[in-house]
Amino acid sequence: MTQVSYKDLGLVNTKEMFKKAMDGKYAIPAYNFNNLEQLQAIVNGCVESNSPFILQVSSGARKYANQTLLRYLAEGAVELIKSMNSNVKFALHLDHGDTFELCKSCIDSGFSSVMIDGSHHSYEENIRLTKQVVEYAHEHGVTVEGELGVLAGIEDDVVAAESVYTHPDQVEDFVKRTGVDSLAISIGTSHGANKFKPEQCSKNADGVLVPPPLRFDILEEIEKRIPGFPIVLHGASSVLPEYVKMINENGGKLDDAVGIPEEQLRRAASSAVCKINIDSDGRLAMTGMIRKVFNNNPAEFDPRKYLGPARDALAQMIVHKNKNVLGSAGKA
């Protein structure tokens, strides 16, 4: 593939985005996509709420959708936003890159931001790998997200049995030695729809499972160690009950699905956390609507008749997240 600069595609990196978010006490939404309908929903929802955003691609999405096609979809999203008379800007970001080669390939194909996740390595190897990616990325004006700590759960190729909280005493050294532009930390969020086991949760007055609270004490200590530095939360879907209910009422089976309470995410977004990743909630919204369409009309076979409503449901969920959870609405 011919090397392409993200600037030629009309994209932005995350540097200015994060500065504005930290000054304004909100977080930039980072939405994962794998297909056209998800991309349309993200653009439509963020334009409607006038929110900057980050379009995220995992290594699994690149394999599924084809890396060349994804680049053209992102470029098309720029033109789509213009056609809607909007000035919303977005970054194209690699989510959970695990090798230098993968990050380099994304940078060379026009990504404006990459994540190198070396958290499964030893601390020193994580530093070495992250620094290698940073040096190449910065030569091309691309911003880099690193990670310290491990999130439990499953998301595409990322699998961990249990969480390992980020050690605040490591963050200053890690940031200084690697040169990263932002840092993903572990304070109790988790990948996937089943983020917590029932025995980890309590029950409220209505008998609904309530997860353990996020470790804001760790976040606050990290803020003291690296003041003003952009922090990222992964695994931050709330596993919205209305979509879980919709799935289960239409033939699905999502037992004990529990996510991160939205009020805790709003609190995080008012701190140094200036990027919050949301993937599972989008999958749940689309899957719930598709199941509902099929359950109501088993004879339906036109993809537009079930993917269209699913796209619209995702777009409205994104408007809700931007306005009520991340606080990014109106900040484009």
DSSP sequence for 143-211: EEEEEESB--EEETTEEESS-B---HHHHHHHHHHH--SEEEE-SS--SSSB-S-GGG-EE-TTS-EEP
- Give the Cα separation of 68 and 65 in Å (integer): 9
Q: Does 302 participate in catalysis according to the annotation?
A: no
State the virtual CA torsion across 157, 163, 165, 166 in degrees, nearest 10. Answer: -10
Which residue in 16, 34, 9 sits closest to 109, CA to CA? 9
Active-site residue, selected from the candidate residues 8, 23, 95, 156: 95
Bridging pattern class, strands 209-210 and 231-233: unpaired
Q: Is 89 exposed, middle or buried (0-12, 13-18, 19+ CB in 10 A)?
A: middle
Q: Which residues are catalytic?
A: 95
